[in-house]
Structure 1
Amino acid sequence: MERPHLVYTTFPDAATALAVGEALVRARLAACVNVLPGMASVYAWKGAIEHGAEVVAILKTRESLSAALAAALKERHPYETPIILHLAVAEADPDTAAWILAETGGGSAS
């Protein structure tokens, strides 16, 4: 069975994260997008140290859709350089994996 895959990204606010997330779920590129508000960030950007409030989004997909999901996410993302981190899933509960595969258009792929 094909493995689930997670993508980590951040957004400026929950409304944007939810709107982009819904578009990706409707497109069946992700089975689910978890939006976690209330994150404070400190980061280097163009030679300066920045501080900001952001939200985390964790997208659940399948390995074979990771590149397409990343491209669609980048296309819809409001940041000039969005953070898109691919997190390989070493193991998943079989029912969880089957649900992710089914919701991203694949049923029980091999």
Structure 2
Amino acid sequence: MTNLLLIRITCPSRRVAEEIADAALEQRLAACANLEGPVTSTYRWKGVVEHAFEFVLWIKAPDAHWSDIEALVNTLHPYDVPAIVALPCAHASKPYEAWVNENTDA
């Protein structure tokens, strides 16, 4: 098991996703971010099924930075309840894991 997380955040626009990614890297909370989309999202909000185009932001970071990244997203994200989930990385190449740790304040 590694100490890395793959954090997935859905964002309403490319601009919001890039702002979160830039802030996470500038604050050395994450070493890398990837942006995908737009994707189609279907979800229930306040009792109504909604459809929207969103962008998926993937952040690679040490597990120790989860709370700070969650707080950052809650500050910068316009949604009342941003979809932010973290997947533990069971395996990563040793050089990549070292690179992530070297490029964050882990």
| Same fold per superposition (TM over 0.5) | yes
- Structure-2 residue corresponding to 1:105: 105
TM-score (norm 1): 0.90
Question: 2:16–2:76: 8 Å Cα contact kept in structure 1?
Answer: no
User: Alpha-carbon deviations, 1:51-89, whole Å to 9, x = none?
Assistant: 000000011100111111111111111111001101111
Q: Quick one: structure 1 residues 42 and 2, their matched pair in 2 at CA, closer, same or farther if it must change by over 3 Å?
A: closer
Q: Percent identical across equivalent pairs?
A: 32
| Poorly superposed stretches of 4+, deviation over 3 Å | none
Distance 1:68 1:105 in 2: 12
Q: What is the aligned length?
A: 106
The letter for the 2-side match of 1:33 is A
Instruction: Provide structure 2 residue ranges, at least 5 long, that are not aligned to the other structure.
Output: none
**Whole-Å separation in 2 of the counterparts to 1:78 and 1:25:** 20
- 1:26 partner amino acid: E
TM-score normalised to structure 2 length = 0.93
Asked whether 1:44 is paired with 2:44, we answer: yes
Match of 1:66 in 2: 66
C-alpha displacement of 1:105: 2.1
**CA-CA distance at 1:5 after TM superposition:** 1.0
